[in-house]
């Protein structure tokens, strides 16, 4: 994604009521919102909000009911007039535009999709979609042509002459989306656009929005009170509370580095395996060995790091070639063979953006750490079991029934990638996870690694080398590093159960 | 008595004289225009032979009622009956008076209703006036109308317009205010001008409510037009009044029946005109 700033919000404050300036001056004096309301009956809707949205990203504004999401979104196209502050779109300040300039900006740059669809009941689908073009005075043929295109984009071809009342909720929102797209705006504002849809349709629409985003490259600002939705579609998320933004970041940042206890409580209930990606749990591939090195170097490296396997790469840009096991390397040294001859080339690899949910079954089946490899074959990092579980453990539990179910569907796929037969203990990581305390979890897994992650051929001979597939020493520390603060985890899940967060 | 009798009546009379004196020409001008409207409409309607008129109004009922054959047949039958009773010309006079009154009412009432919906201040001024207009007995309007416009159709029409105005304003105002906030936001968010918002979003969405106002307005006009016979408005009302004065039951009943027929037909047609 290129990082051109598309929209910039500077110090936006909104005071509802008859004397907004009073509210502003009291805010400046540092009074709290409730004090201001008691004194002056002015409601502080937004308090000094700042953020920017990059070209082509999906920016989600999230927060509980009443936190000011809709107010903020409506300030962006001045459906609600901000009391103070500036909003720049492509560098143009829209807060001091006159009505005509504002109208033109709304027509050309800003599309909007509404929570309850807001379709005009007296118009057909086609005329609804063409509305934005119609008010610009575009001749009938041309606007119908564009409207039909938009209708096709959202997958409603053939419905253009239907009446609005004949459509289902999902179809209605597609019309709403098409209406916004027909103007070909740069920015789409979507206020809880999928909240009125039932869960399945909603999920479909989210998927479609993502694929649409790939095709049409709009900047989308999406309001949602649903954390799962925000994490799924958001490139970045702004979390709001009482009219202020408490944190802005990527879904992973929000999950792994919550800015304060409010955010961490907010995200406590999330199924992290759906959101975290391979990239976020991988560790630096250190050490690695060049394919041109000899067995002696390999043995020394493994010794120094206390590991029993090492990844083999080629060239400056670390193209992954394979993995070697300590036993095989010792053998090669004895027989004077090259490193390459004992290398296992087809180790399991994953892409950096693979969701953790799909990584889990792979790593459960694998004897080796997983290699994270980008499109051009470069080794970016490796994933060991401990770091996966450490990342998941941060917020307490993984839903017990979810992972094995996922696993079943994943089995055939992972079977192809992993040549070795599945060890009988393949389910252990999932079985262990529901346990209470994260540190215990990681420890028990570490032990487990020692048992089944061990290379088949008697590598136990070499005294200095710790004998498990993966470095077991740093495990607890690793978990700690990835978590941020594992000590916090139990009291988080105590104080705020996840279900509470999602009620809006 | 210590307090002398207050000269209310005299004051009013003086005021009326003053208005007559200063605005007489203006009042005459209005009177002429309205008379032209009523007579014109009457002449057009009477120009059609009754059979053709019945065909037209039945077709209108048929299509307005979304191809309601019963309504069409009923309409045709009703108007045949009116012709059969020999009340055709009187009925057409009444109809012309009703339609021109209702037209004038709507031409004033709908824009005022829209302005009321947009302007809180205006609404707060207009609302008590409407309440007053609706609680006043309808006869009361006859007096000022009589004073300023004399006897005849025109004062009848003026009284009718005043009487039928409140529902037109109220329901238009209500209809516009009831347009969902999200739809108004749609209009704004897509960059509509004020007029586009009104014409393409608010009025169409409010149309069912506004049409209910139109219907009420026409029904009230009809009832007032009959009463306005007391100040010389022509038509069926005059016939009823005649029947009362002469205690002529058959005459009064037949005219009354004709009024009922016109009322029912107008009601059904306008009710069905509203979309959805
Ligand atoms: N027109 C208004 N007048 C006064 N207060 C308002 C107005 N509009 C919103 N508010 C207040 O501003 C706050 C934020 O409202 P807003 O609608 O932006 O919340 P939200 O985050 O969109 O919530 P939801 O998820 O329920 O839609 C609320 O406390 C609300 O009461
Ligand atoms: Mg909202």
A350 sits in the region (left: phi over 0; alpha: psi -120 to 50; else beta) called beta
Contacts with B189 from chain A: Cβ below 8 Å: 77, 79, 106, 110, 112, 189
The closest CB to that of B190, out of A74, A121, A131, belongs to A131
- When pLDDT is cut at 50, 70 and 90, the band that residue B274 belongs to is low
- Determine contact: B194 vs chain A, CB below 8 A: no
Q: Please report which residue ranges of A130-168 form alpha helices under DSSP H.
A: 131-134, 140-153
- Backbone dihedral angles phi then psi of residue A217, each to the nearest 5 degrees: 50, 60
Q: What CATH number does the domain containing A432 carry?
A: 3.10.580.10
- When pLDDT is cut at 50, 70 and 90, the band that residue B68 belongs to is confident
If you ran DSSP here, which 8-state letter would residue A283 be given? Answer: B
- The half-sphere exposure of B251 on its side-chain side, counting CA atoms within 13 A, is 14
The closest CB to that of A122, out of B190, B193, B275, belongs to B275
Residue A2 falls inside a structural domain? no
Residue A209 falls inside a structural domain? yes
pLDDT score of B196 = 96
Q: How far apart are CA A305 and CA A283, in angstroms?
A: 14
- Determine contact: A70 vs chain B, CB below 8 A: no
Mutate to test the interface with B, among A18, A104, A114, A192 (most CBs of B within 10 A): A114
pLDDT digits (tens, 9 = 90+) for B120-156: 999 999 999 999 888 888 888 888 888 888 899 999 9
Q: Which residue has the tokens 């005009």?
A: A120
Q: How far apart are CA A302 and CA A344, in angstroms?
A: 16
Task: Using the predicted structure, report yes or no on whether residue A121 has a pLDDT greater than 60.
Answer: yes
Q: Please give the average per-residue pLDDT across A40-51, as a whole number.
A: 92
pLDDT score of A473 = 37
pLDDT score of A280 = 76
- The half-sphere exposure of B8 on its side-chain side, counting CA atoms within 13 A, is 2
Domain check: are A212 and A316 in the same one? no
Domain check: are A263 and A314 in the same one? no
Closest approach atom of ligand 1 to CA A115: 27
Contact A107 B185 (CB under 8 A): no
By the CB criterion, residues less than 5 angstroms from ion ligand 2 are A 70
pLDDT digits (tens, 9 = 90+) for B78-113: 999 999 999 999 999 999 999 999 999 999 999 999
Tell me how far the alpha carbon of residue A234 lies from the centroid of ligand 2, in angstroms.
18
Task: Using the predicted structure, report yes or no on whether residue A432 has a pLDDT greater than 60.
Answer: no
Residue A13 falls inside a structural domain? no
Which among A254, A270, A286 is the end of a domain? A270
Contact A136 B205 (CB under 8 A): no
Burial of A105 (0-12, 13-18, 19+ CB in 10 A): buried
| Residue having the nearest C-alpha atom to atom 2 of ligand 1 | A16
Domain check: are A504 and A360 in the same one? yes
Contact B189 A183 (CB under 8 A): no
Find how far residue B28's CA is from the centre of its chain.
21
Task: Using the predicted structure, report yes or no on whether residue A456 has a pLDDT greater than 90.
Answer: no
The pair of three-digit structure tokens given for residue A285, joined into one six-digit string: 């591939």
Which among A232, A254, A270 is the end of a domain? A270
Contact A118 B204 (CB under 8 A): no
Which among A270, A290, A310 is the end of a domain? A270
Domain check: are A254 and A299 in the same one? no
Contact B182 A116 (CB under 8 A): yes
Whether the CB-CB separation of B186 and B201 falls below 8 Å is answered with yes
The pair of three-digit structure tokens given for residue A392, joined into one six-digit string: 């998941």
* Residue B60, number of CB atoms within 10 A of its CB: 16
Q: Please give the average per-residue pLDDT across B165-182, as a whole number.
A: 96
Edge-to-edge strands, sheet with A58-63? A110-113, A187-191, A219-224, A58-63, A236-241, A244-249
* Residue A500, number of CB atoms within 10 A of its CB: 13
| Residue having the nearest C-alpha atom to atom 11 of ligand 1 | A45
Domain check: are A236 and A282 in the same one? no
The pair of three-digit structure tokens given for residue A479, joined into one six-digit string: 């978990």
Task: Using the predicted structure, report yes or no on whether residue A414 has a pLDDT greater than 80.
Answer: no
Q: Please give the average per-residue pLDDT across A366-392, as a whole number.
A: 81
Burial of B132 (0-12, 13-18, 19+ CB in 10 A): exposed
Residue A138 falls inside a structural domain? yes
Q: Please give the average per-residue pLDDT across A319-333, as a whole number.
A: 87
Residue A53 falls inside a structural domain? no
Domain check: are A312 and A258 in the same one? no
Task: Using the predicted structure, report yes or no on whether residue B176 has a pLDDT greater than 70.
Answer: yes
Contact A132 B190 (CB under 8 A): yes
If you ran DSSP here, which 8-state letter would residue B178 be given? Answer: T
Domain check: are A380 and A431 in the same one? yes
Please enumerate in sequence order all residues whose Cβ is within 8 A of that of B31, keeping only pairs 6 or more positions apart, or say none.
B149, B150, B154
Domains along chain B with CATH numbers = 13-47+85-273 (1.10.3720.10)
Q: How far apart are CA B145 and CA B101, in angstroms?
A: 14
Closest approach atom of ligand 1 to CA A74: 18
Whether the CB-CB separation of B272 and B64 falls below 8 Å is answered with yes
User: What secondary structure does DSSP assign to A94-156, as a single string?
Assistant: STT--HHHHHHHHHHHEEEE-TT----TTSBHHHHHTHHHHTTT--HHHHHHHHHHHHHHTT-
Burial of B67 (0-12, 13-18, 19+ CB in 10 A): exposed
Domain check: are A66 and A209 in the same one? yes
Contacts with A122 from chain B: Cβ below 8 Å: 204-205, 207, 275
Return the residue of A nearest to B183 by Cα: A118
Q: How far apart are CA A133 and CA A144, in angstroms?
A: 9
pLDDT digits (tens, 9 = 90+) for A241-281: 999 999 999 988 888 888 888 888 888 777 777 777 787 77
Name the A residues in 107-126 with CB < 8 Å from any B CB: 107, 110-112, 114-116, 118, 120-122
Q: Please give the average per-residue pLDDT across A39-47, as a whole number.
A: 91
Greater confidence, B23 or B172? B172
Closest approach atom of ligand 1 to CA A73: 18
Contact B205 A121 (CB under 8 A): yes
- Determine contact: B274 vs chain A, CB below 8 A: no
Domains in chain A, number: 2
Question: What is the residue range of A155's domain?
Answer: 61-78+98-270
Q: What CATH number does the domain containing A232 carry?
A: 3.40.50.300
- Dihedral angle over CA of A488, A493, A499, A501, nearest 10: -30
Q: How far apart are CA A157 and CA A160, in angstroms?
A: 7
Return the residue of A nearest to B204 by Cα: A122
Domain check: are A372 and A449 in the same one? yes
């Amino acid at each position: 994604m290129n990082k051109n700033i598309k929209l910039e919000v500077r110090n936006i404050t909104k005071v509802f009521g008859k004397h907004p300036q009073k509210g502003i001056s009291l805010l400046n004096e540092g009074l709290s919102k409730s004090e201001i309301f008691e004194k002056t009956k002015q409601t502080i809707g937004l308090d000094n909000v700042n953020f920017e949205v990059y070209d082509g990203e999906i920016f989600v504004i999230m927060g509980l009911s009443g936190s000011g999401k809709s107010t903020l979104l409506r300030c962006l196209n001045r459906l609600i007039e901000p009391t103070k502050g500036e909003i720049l779109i492509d560098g143009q300040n829209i807060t001091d535009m006159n009505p005509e300039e504002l109208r033109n900006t709304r027509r050309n740059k800003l599309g909007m999709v509404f929570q309850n669809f807001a379709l005009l009941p007296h118009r057909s689908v086609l005329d609804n979609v063409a509305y934005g073009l119609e008010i610009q005075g575009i001749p009938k043929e041309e606007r119908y042509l564009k409207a039909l295109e938009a209708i096709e984009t959202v997958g409603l071809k053939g419905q253009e002459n239907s009446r609005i009342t004949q459509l289902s909720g999902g179809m209605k929102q597609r019309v709403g989306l098409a209406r916004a797209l027909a103007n070909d705006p740069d920015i789409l504002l979507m206020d809880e656009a999928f909240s009125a849809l039932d869960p399945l349709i909603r999920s479909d629409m989210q998927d479609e929005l993502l694929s649409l985003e790939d095709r049409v490259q709009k900047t989308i600002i999406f309001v949602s009170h649903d954390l799962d939705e925000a994490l799924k579609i958001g490139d970045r998320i702004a979390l709001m509370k009482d009219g202020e933004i408490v944190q802005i970041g990527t879904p992973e940042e929000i999950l792994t580095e919550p800015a304060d206890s409010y955010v961490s409580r907010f995200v406590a209930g999330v199924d992290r395996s759906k959101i975290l990606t391979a990239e976020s749990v991988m560790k630096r591939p250190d050490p690695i060995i060049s394919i041109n090195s000899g067995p002696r170097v390999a043995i020394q490296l493994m010794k120094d790091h206390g590991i029993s396997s090492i990844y083999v790469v080629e060239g400056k840009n670390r193209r992954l070639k394979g993995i070697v096991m300590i036993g095989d390397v010792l053998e090669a040294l004895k027989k004077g063979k090259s490193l390459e001859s004992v290398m296992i080339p087809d180790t399991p690899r994953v892409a950096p953006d693979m969701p953790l949910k799909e990584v889990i079954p792979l790593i459960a089946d694998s004897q080796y750490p997983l290699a994270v490899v980008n499109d051009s074959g470069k080794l970016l990092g490796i994933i060991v079991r401990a770091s996966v579980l450490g990342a998941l453990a941060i917020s307490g539990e993984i839903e017990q029934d979810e992972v094995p179910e996922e696993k079943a569907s994943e089995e055939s796929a992972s079977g192809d990638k992993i040549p070795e037969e599945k060890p009988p203990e393949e389910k252990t990581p999932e079985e262990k996870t529901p346990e209470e305390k994260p540190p215990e979890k990681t420890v028990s897994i570490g032990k487990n690694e020692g048992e089944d992650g061990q290379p088949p051929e008697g590598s136990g001979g070499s005294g200095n080398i710790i004998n498990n597939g993966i470095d077991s020493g740093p495990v607890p520390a690793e978990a700690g590093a990835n978590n941020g603060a594992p000590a916090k985890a139990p009291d988080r899940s105590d104080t705020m159960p996840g279900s509470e967060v999602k009620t809006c | 008595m210590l307090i002398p009798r207050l000269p209310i009546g005299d004051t009013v009379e003086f005021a009326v004289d003053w208005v007559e004196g200063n605005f007489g020409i203006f009042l005459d001008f209005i009177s002429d225009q309205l008379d032209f409207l009523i007579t014109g409409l009457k002449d057009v309607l009477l120009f059609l032979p009754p059979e053709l008129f019945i065909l037209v109004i039945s077709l209108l009922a048929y299509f307005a009622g979304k191809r309601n054959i019963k309504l069409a047949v009923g309409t045709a039958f009703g108007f045949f009956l009116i012709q059969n009773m020999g009340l055709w010309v009187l009925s057409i006079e009444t109809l012309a008076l009703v339609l021109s009154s209702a037209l004038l009412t709507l031409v004033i009432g709908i824009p005022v209703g829209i302005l009321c919906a947009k302007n809180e201040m205006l609404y707060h001024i207009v609302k008590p006036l409407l309440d007053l207009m609706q609680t006043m007995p309808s006869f009361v309007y006859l007096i000022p109308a009589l004073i300023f416009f004399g006897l005849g159709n025109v004062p009848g029409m003026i009284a009718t317009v005043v009487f039928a105005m409140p529902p037109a304003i109220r329901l238009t105002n209500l209809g516009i205010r009831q347009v969902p906030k999200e739809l108004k936001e749609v209009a704004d968010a897509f960059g509509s001008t004020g007029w586009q918002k009104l014409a393409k979003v608010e009025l169409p969405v409010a149309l069912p409510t506004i049409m209910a106002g139109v219907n009420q307005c026409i029904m009230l006009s009809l009832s007032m037009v009959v009463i306005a016979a007391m100040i010389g408005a022509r038509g069926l009302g005059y016939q009823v009044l005649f029947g009362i004065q002469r205690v002529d039951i058959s005459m009064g009943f037949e005219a009354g029946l004709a009024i009922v027929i016109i009322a029912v037909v107008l009601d059904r047609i306008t009710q069905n005109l509203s979309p959805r």
